[in-house]
């Protein structure tokens, strides 16, 4: 099958961007599948994530958090176009990249990901997300600026991960996530709004949203709400998948990513 895929499809370059508290490691199944089909794959660690050397306390703005993706996009040859794939909070990172480097993106894929846009600002998106948020159980916030100021970092708790993030994924992947998780920096709404002012440049890039049917973190009704407020060019759905689509339904996601890349090449 892999050899047939290589004959049918020219090589695409997929750039995979993880969600909050995760890292490039979360894509390990998709990296292997895409490479087996002959494609080029870059899975990035955002700042203070995965094996990126920065510490969460070093980050002062969401722009610094996104810096590794911006640096990578800047380093691409002028004539190369990539397939940008963002998962969860990674949707914000790829949105900024679409705005800054639209000519280098053939299509952007939002995998149950935050999807702001010119018609859906980050403030409204965050408010709606918070309004729908369920109990965070054993997840933890830190208050490095004192108890009377907003929290500075967030970490998923093991129980929350097992019940709401990895509930349909193999137990080995839950174990992996539990040991590799790093806290994510929480940024002010003003900072996020300044860095995610999206215009016609963002809108010029083809966009596809992949719904995860059984996602308990960004529930299906919230995914549909984002799609309604900021309509993409196409919508796909993966059934029987949790928030970690790449862990619970890797082959289905792999098939969708290849088809999307082929259509919008």
| Residues tagged active-site | 88, 215, 243
Residues contacting 220, CB < 8 A, separation 6+: 211, 212, 213, 214
DSSP reduced 3-state for 192: helix
Q: By C-alpha distance, which of 94, 87, 88 is closest to 108? A: 94
Q: How far apart are CA 174 and CA 59, in angstroms?
A: 27
180: three-class secondary structure by DSSP: helix
Distance CA 101, CA 177 (A): 31
C-alpha span between 249 and 36 (Å, rounded): 17
Partners of 16 in the β-ladder? 43, 85
Q: Residue 84: which residues within 8 A CB-CB, separation 6 or more?
A: 15, 17, 94, 97, 98, 105, 107, 108, 109
How many C-beta atoms surround the C-beta of residue 44 within 10 A? 20
Q: What is the DSSP letter of 28?
A: H
């Amino acid at each position: 099958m892999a050899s047939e895929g290589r004959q049918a499809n020219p090589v695409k370059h997929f750039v995979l961007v993880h969600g909050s508290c995760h890292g490039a490691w979360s894509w390990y199944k998709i990296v292997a599948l895409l490479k087996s089909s002959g494609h080029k794959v870059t899975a990035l660690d955002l700042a203070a994530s995965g094996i990126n050397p920065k510490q969460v306390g070093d980050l002062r703005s969401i722009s610094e958090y996104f810096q590794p993706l911006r640096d990578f996009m800047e380093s691409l040859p002028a004539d190369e176009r990539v397939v940008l794939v963002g998962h969860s909070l990674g949707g914000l990172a790829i949105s900024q990249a679409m705005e800054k480097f639209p000519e280098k993106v053939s299509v952007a894929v939002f995998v149950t990901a935050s999807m702001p846009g010119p018609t859906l600002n980050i403030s409204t998106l965050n408010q709606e997300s918070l309004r729908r948020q369920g109990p965070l159980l054993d997840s933890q916030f830190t208050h490095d600026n004192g108890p009377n100021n907003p929290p500075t970092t967030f970490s998923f708790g093991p129980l929350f991960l097992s019940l709401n993030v990895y509930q349909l994924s193999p137990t080995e992947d839950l174990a992996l996530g539990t040991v590799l998780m790093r806290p994510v920096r929480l940024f002010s709404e003003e900072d996020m709004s300044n860095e995610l002012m999206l215009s016609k440049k963002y809108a010029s890039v083809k966009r596809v949203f992949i719904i995860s049917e059984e996602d308990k973190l960004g529930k299906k009704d919230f995914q549909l709400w984002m799609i309604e407020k900021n309509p993409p060019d196409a919508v796909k759905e993966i059934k029987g998948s949790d928030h970690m689509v790449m862990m619970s339904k890797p082959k289905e996601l792999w098939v969708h990513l290849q088809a999307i890349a082929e259509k919008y090449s």
